[in-house]
Amino acid sequence: MGDSSSQQQGLGRISAIVLQTRGRLKWASYLCSTVFVLQYLMQSAEAEPVLGTSLFRQCRPVAIANNKTEDCCLPEPEREPILFKFEERKKMLVRRPAHELANDVEYVNKYNLAYKRMKELPREDPRSFLRQWHVHCAFCVEAFLSRYLNGTPTPYPLQLHYSWTFLPWHRMMLYYHERILGSLINDPEFTLPFWNWDNQLDAGAAQMPQMFVPYNPPNPAIDNFYLYAGAIRDQNHYPPRVMTLNFKPAEDKAGIIPTPEEIRDANLCMVWNMVVNKVSAQEYLGGKYNTSADLSAAGNANASAESGGSELLHNTAHEWVGMLNNSAFPDNEDMGVFTYSGRDPLFYSHHANVDRLWDVWQTLPDGVTVDGTRTRKEFDDVDFLETEFTFFDENKDMVRVKVKDTLSNAKLGIMYQDMSEADSLWINHKPKASKPSFRTTQLSSTPDDYPEVVANANNTIGSTPVCFKLHRRAPTKADLKGTQVKHIGELSEGVVMEKVKIPEMMYVRFDVYVDFPSANVDSDMDQSDYVGTFTHLPSGVASMESVTSQISVANEDLYRELNVRFTTGLALRRLGIEDYSTDITVTIVPRFRDHDADKTITFSNLKQEFL
C-alpha cells in the first residue's frame, strides 16, 4: 500500500495538470491500450483501494441492447477537486417517507420545483438532471477505468455494483443529489423522501408513491409534473398495486396478481432474509473490490464480484417500476436497467430507502449465529475504508470522498424518520410452520437409505428447477481467518455458487431452497427451507477488448461472472438439521422470461462457506 499523503499529493498534481491542459487536442485525453498496460505493470503487485473518478476524461459510451450505446460521460470540473469535510449542523436533516408526504402540498410543490430547475440547467452543468442521471450510468455501467489512488489507471473497467462499494457510493450519490436540489430552491434543509417499500403496516407505503404519478383524482393544489414527466414506467404497477418483493415477471405478464396476504408474507420474508439474516459485512454489503478486481467480460480468473443482501433486495424495485414485460422497451427502461434508472426521479427515493435499511441493519442484534452474540459492523479492511469516489457538489466543485467518510449518516447530518413499528414486522418475522425436514421424512433406519436425488452434474441452470447435493462440515478455527469474529459459534454458515456466468443483457432471477429437492415455481417462499433469491438486471458489461475503446456495444456472447451467496445456518437449524455432518440438497428454481427459456447459466462450484 502506498503512503496516503503522497497518493493524495500525486492525485492533486495530476488533477491540476488535467485542468491546465483542458481544451487541447482530443486525442490527448485518451490513452491507448498499450500505455494502460505499461502503466499497470509499473504498479506494485499488491492490490490497493480503488479510485472511482471521472476526472481523467478517459470515458467510453456504455452498451445497451440492439447494438446501441449511451454517452454518459461527465463534464470536466472547472476547478481543482477538493477533499470532503464533515459539516457542523445545528440540527439533523430528517428524510421522511413518501407515502406520508403525498398530501403535503408545500413539500410536493417544492420538490417538484427543485426538479424543474434541475432539468432546466444546461447539459454541461454537472448539477443538471441529465448529468445527475449520467453519474449513475457512468459509474455503474463501466464507462471509466478503475484507478489507483495516485490516479494511474488499472486495465479494468470501474464497476460500483456487485461489491462492498454499492452502499457507500449510492449513499454519497444521494447526499450530493439532495444538496443540489436544495440549493436550486434555496432550501438548505430540503431532504429527499424515501419510498418505504418494506413497510407492510401502513396503507400505501409499498405502492409506487403517489407523488411520483399523476394524482387520481387530481389535486389542483399540487403540481408534481416534473416528478413523473418523461419517466418510462410500468403503469400497470401504479397505485393501488402493491409491490411484491418476490416479483414473478411471467405471472405478472399473464395478469396473475398475488393476494394481499401473499404479498405481505412474501415481502416480510424477503426483507427478513436479505437484511436480518445477513449478519456479516460480506453477506449484507457485498464482496471485496480493489485494484486487482476485474469485473469485465468472460474469462477473467480474478473475478470477485458478489452482491450483498442489500443490493439483491433492492433489485426488485428496479424490476417493478421498469418496463420488464414490454417488448417495446427492450432495455427495460427506465428503472429496469442501470443505464437509464437515474433518469427517473423515483430512483433516488428508492435508494433513500435502501440507505435507510443500512442504518437499521447496523442496529440489529445477532439472532442468526449459533452463539447469537455477533455484532454487525462494516469491513475494517483498509482497501474498503480508503476506497475513494468523486462527486460534483451544489457549487459545481468535484469532491473527493473516502468510504470511511460514508459509514455514519449521523456524521453526515442526516437521519430518517423513525419507522420502527413497521420495521418490527420484518425484523421479528418467522417463517410459517415448516414442513418436516426432507431427511427426517425420507430416511428409514440407516443413512444409506437417503433417497437418490436426480442431481445436476454439470453445474448448469436452465429454465426448470434443478437440484444439487452439497457436502457439509463443521466450522473450525481456520474458518475464523479473515472474518471479524473470534469464536466459531459467531460464524455464519452459507452456500456459495462460485463464478456464475450471467449473459450480459439477460434478466435473471432464481429462488433457492435447502432440504427441499422438489421445490418449484409454486413453492411457498415463506418457509424455513427458502434461503434467498438472486436477481440480475441487464446492465451491460465491458469486454477487455472494448475497455479502452471509445465505442462499445452490447454483445450477447459476453457475460458477467459473479459469486452468489445464500445464508443457510438458521434455516437448517429451524429444519432440525443441527449436525454439520449432514449433507443437504440445494434446489434452484429459475424464473426466466419467456424469450430466455432456451438459455442456460453455468457456475464452477457449489460449496459451503463460513463468514
pLDDT of residue 510: 93
Using one digit for the tens of pLDDT, what is the confidence trace for 116-144? 999 999 999 999 999 999 999 999 888 99
Using one digit for the tens of pLDDT, what is the confidence trace for 82-112? 999 999 888 999 999 999 999 999 999 999 9
Residues in the chain: 611
CA atoms of 272 and 278, how far apart (whole Å) = 9
In sequence order, the β-bridge partners of residue 502 are 560
pLDDT of residue 275: 98
Using one digit for the tens of pLDDT, what is the confidence trace for 145-178? 999 999 999 999 899 999 999 999 999 999 999 9
b/e map of 385-420 (b: 16 or more CB within 10 Å)? bbbbbbbbbbeeebbbbbbebbbebeebebbbeebe
Using one digit for the tens of pLDDT, what is the confidence trace for 321-331? 998 778 788 77
Phi, psi of 562 (to 5 degrees): -130, 155
- Residue type, position 26, single letter: K
Using one digit for the tens of pLDDT, what is the confidence trace for 233-287? 999 999 999 999 998 888 888 899 999 999 999 999 999 999 999 999 999 999 9
- Which DSSP symbol is given to 243? P
Confidence of residue 18 (pLDDT cuts 50, 70, 90): very low
Q: Looking at 303-390, list the stretches that DSSP marks H as alpha helix, in order from N- to C-terminal side.
A: 309-321, 338-341, 346-363, 382-385
Confidence of residue 19 (pLDDT cuts 50, 70, 90): very low
Crossing angle of the two packed helices 105-120 and 129-140, in degrees rounded to 10: 80
pLDDT of residue 596: 81
**Rg of the chain on CA atoms, in Å:** 24
Question: Of 37, 34, 30, 23, whose CA–CA distance to 550 is shortest?
Answer: 30
> Where do the domains of the chain lie, and which CATH numbers do they carry?
62-428 (1.10.1280.10), 453-610 (2.60.120)
Using one digit for the tens of pLDDT, what is the confidence trace for 45-77? 468 999 999 988 789 888 776 667 889 999 999
Q: Is the pLDDT of residue 228 over 70?
A: yes
pLDDT of residue 436: 58
What's the whole-number average pLDDT of the chain? 86
- Which DSSP symbol is given to 180? H
Strands 508-514 and 584-590: antiparallel
Question: Of 144, 237, 148, 96, whose CA–CA distance to 542 is shortest?
Answer: 144
What SS3 class is residue 607? strand
Q: Is the pLDDT of residue 583 over 60?
A: yes
Provide the grid cell at 231.
419517466
